Structure 1
Amino acid sequence: MLLSILAIIFGFVLLVWSADKFVESASATAFHAGMPPLLIGMVIVGFGTSAPEMVVSAMAAMEGSPALALGNALGSNVVNISLVLGLAAMIAPLSVQSKIVKKELPLLLIISIVLGAMLWNSTLSQVEAWLLLGGFFCFVFWSIYRGMKGDARDLEPEAIDEIKSNTMSTKTAIIWLVVSLLILMGSSRLLVWGSVDIAHALGVSDLIIGLTVVALGTSLPELAATIIAAKKGEHDIALGNIIGSNMFNILAVIGIAGVIKPVENIGGEIFWRDWMTMLVVTIVLFAAAIGFKGKNGRITRWEGAILLLFYIGYNTYLISSVIQA
């Protein structure tokens, strides 16, 4: 048991570090190769925020634990909105621009509802997983098209400045790209092994471990980035990171895991408890972003507290269900 706990701790630390190094080296490599900084900010940096979830879920599926992969994605989305944005809004109320309300959030809601339709029968077939993965590629190509047309998200100027200031040479960037990717894969495997081992030792399902411990750990990059952005007053970065990451989690993380190994007969709670919680917090975020009673697009500290209470209540229920089992 002690060895498994150490594996989780070291796995998390290496996962967060290698994911950050992977994004930095991938951005530098693409920049030296002549890829426009705008598209690097939209595609590579956006991909990087969900890299931990993607690799962990892929490893879990290959290890024969697709339920852990699904729990990781759903749990990460709940963590991102309820815990991460909740804490960020309590630190500093978040202003929401109209285009996020008109374009980004409705798309996230639609993707979430599509996932719910797929999980209605407590399974996720390979065909459904391929559909999600196809949606992911469509989303990436759409982002590239928007970038080429000049319809860039507000978070990109900061990303571009960071990429241009990167002094990493081409050779160094390629070396770190390979090394960080290997560490990312190794730390993910270590994390999955430790999590599954503890789950089996305690008699807890892989799904519960994925929804709680693994989901929180793989969301650490979003937590750090969003809180820092909120403190700096860069509200679009805080919101954009979370919305983009949640889209990636549904389309790519679940899609990749489902293609590797379909999820079958995991119980109705995946729909009624976990997917429903994810949908509710997404709707709460959408309602707060729209504004009411003359309040225009602002997530207040009170609304942040409500989101945080959702996280506490949901995880309390998950833990209590394990204790009572």
Structure 2
Amino acid sequence: MPLANAASYPLWVNLLIFVVAAAVIWRAGGRLTRALDAIATRTRLEHVFVGMLLLGGITSLPELANVVTASALDHPRLAINNLLGSAAINILLLAVADAFVGRKAVTSIVAQPSTMMMAALCMIILMMIAALVVLGDISIGPLGLGSLFIGACCLGFFWLAASHDRRSRWKVEDEEPRRGEPDDGGISQAPLAALWTRVTLYGACLFAAGYSLSQTGSAIAEQTGMTSAIVGFALIGTATSLPELVTVVTALKLRRPEMAFGQVLGTNFVNLSLLPVGDLIYQGEPVVRTLGAFETVSALLGAVLIGVFMVGLLEHRNRTILKMGVDSAVVIVAFALGAALLAGLPARE
């Protein structure tokens, strides 16, 4: 049955599809992370690079599917709020994972300078989006000049962060040696070609399940009477961030904190670079012109959450509360306050 007509299904059917798709994402996301970790080890690739480029790109597939379908159906705000909601929720998920995996603050065990570079550049992108919403965009054919510039900056910043470790003069002198390798279920012994085949298969599962989540999530929101801004930010943003949650949890269990940070921030770079895609598909004015105060605040919320972790990365201390880093606790509180502020903003339909 075509999910493009999901709003015509009974609410219980959409809820069932939503739960099944979430379960598929949880299963495929964990296996994808383990396969990419094995590939990184076998090919001697940096785990932060694998997290940014491969995990980040693959787990952005649900957002791509939602941007394409929402823009084609003349719901550009739904598409963009999904991207901005995912940017903030991804950071929240990293904080939540910190509370459930390990006893050290996650920022105290991240050692590579490229992680801080990624955080700083991602903050800049989100602040640029907030400024663009306030100032407006200029049309160049079917594209907005501002969204095109932000898309180009995302790709350029992605490359700058991924190559930062090779240029950095920062050296880690007090990094603790890794004590043994976690059990990966024997996946690291599989042939390299088989590992890439698994990555392709799990990526396809994530795309299909993510598409199902975005479509049924939109239908559930319509059937329950929520606004497109809240739907895009909270419901669909959370739904399409499920791949990030399971991959972050798995990466931390594998004791790959750089991979976890790289995956979250890399996903944000890829997601935010999709702004021009919305312009290309939406048959109307540049999508940024359809946005307002809600999107400005949501972009700034994402920047604030990254900034909190940036402080933790610079401090590099193992200060914990309730089995999570103090910075993770601050992120959770800040997200809750930001979400309450967004809920109180007037809707613009």
| Whole-Å separation in 1 of the counterparts to 2:252 and 2:28 | 24
Deviations 1:142-199, CA, capped at 9 Å, x for gaps: 4676689899xx9xx9xxxx8993636758956x677656554443443233222222
Helix, strand or coil at the partner of 1:134? helix
Give how far 1:210 is off: 1.6
- Rate the CA distance shift 1:277–1:169 in 2: closer, same or farther, 3 A: closer
Q: Residue 246 of structure 1 aligns with which residue?
A: 268
Q: How well do the aligned residues superpose, as a CA RMSD in angstroms?
A: 4.4
Comparing 208-217 with 87-96, greater Cα deviation is found at 87-96
Unaligned runs of 5+ in 2: 1-10, 173-177, 179-183
| Whole-Å separation in 2 of the counterparts to 1:196 and 1:248 | 22
Helix, strand or coil at the partner of 1:120? helix
Give how far 1:72 is off: 1.6
Helix, strand or coil at the partner of 1:165? helix
Q: Residue 137 in 1 paired to residue 159 in 2? A: no
| Whole-Å separation in 2 of the counterparts to 1:197 and 1:46 | 27
Q: Residue 330 of structure 2 aligns with which residue?
A: 306
Q: Residue 18 of structure 2 aligns with which residue?
A: 8
Q: Residue 202 of structure 1 aligns with which residue?
A: 224
Comparing 75-84 with 92-101, greater Cα deviation is found at 92-101
Helix, strand or coil at the partner of 2:287? coil
Is the contact between residue 62 and residue 260 of structure 1 (CA under 8 Å) also seen in structure 2? yes
Q: Residue 127 in 1 paired to residue 145 in 2? A: yes
Give how far 1:65 is off: 2.4
Q: Following superposition of structure 1 onto structure 2, how do residues 113-262 of structure 1 map, counting pairs within 5 Å?
A: 113-121=127-135, 126-142=144-160, 165=188, 167=190, 170=193, 183-231=205-253, 233-251=255-273, 253-261=274-282, 262=286
- Rate the CA distance shift 1:60–1:8 in 2: closer, same or farther, 3 A: farther
Unaligned runs of 5+ in 1: none
Amino acid of the residue matched to residue 116 of structure 1?
A
Deviations 1:65-98, CA, capped at 9 Å, x for gaps: 2222211221112112234225415753121437
Q: Residue 80 of structure 2 aligns with which residue?
A: 70
Is the contact between residue 62 and residue 207 of structure 2 (CA under 8 Å) also seen in structure 1? no
Comparing 39-48 with 241-250, greater Cα deviation is found at 39-48
Amino acid of the residue matched to residue 167 of structure 1?
A
Is the contact between residue 122 and residue 268 of structure 2 (CA under 8 Å) also seen in structure 1? yes
Is the contact between residue 56 and residue 267 of structure 2 (CA under 8 Å) also seen in structure 1? yes
Is the contact between residue 89 and residue 299 of structure 1 (CA under 8 Å) also seen in structure 2? no
Is the contact between residue 4 and residue 197 of structure 1 (CA under 8 Å) also seen in structure 2? yes
Q: Residue 278 in 1 paired to residue 302 in 2? A: yes
Is the contact between residue 42 and residue 143 of structure 1 (CA under 8 Å) also seen in structure 2? no
Q: Residue 93 of structure 1 aligns with which residue?
A: 105
* Number of equivalent positions: 312
Give how far 1:99 is off: 1.5
Q: Residue 45 of structure 1 aligns with which residue?
A: 55
| Whole-Å separation in 2 of the counterparts to 1:238 and 1:186 | 23
State the TM-score, normalizing by the size of structure 1. Answer: 0.73
- Rate the CA distance shift 1:36–1:111 in 2: closer, same or farther, 3 A: same
Q: Residue 106 of structure 1 aligns with which residue?
A: 120
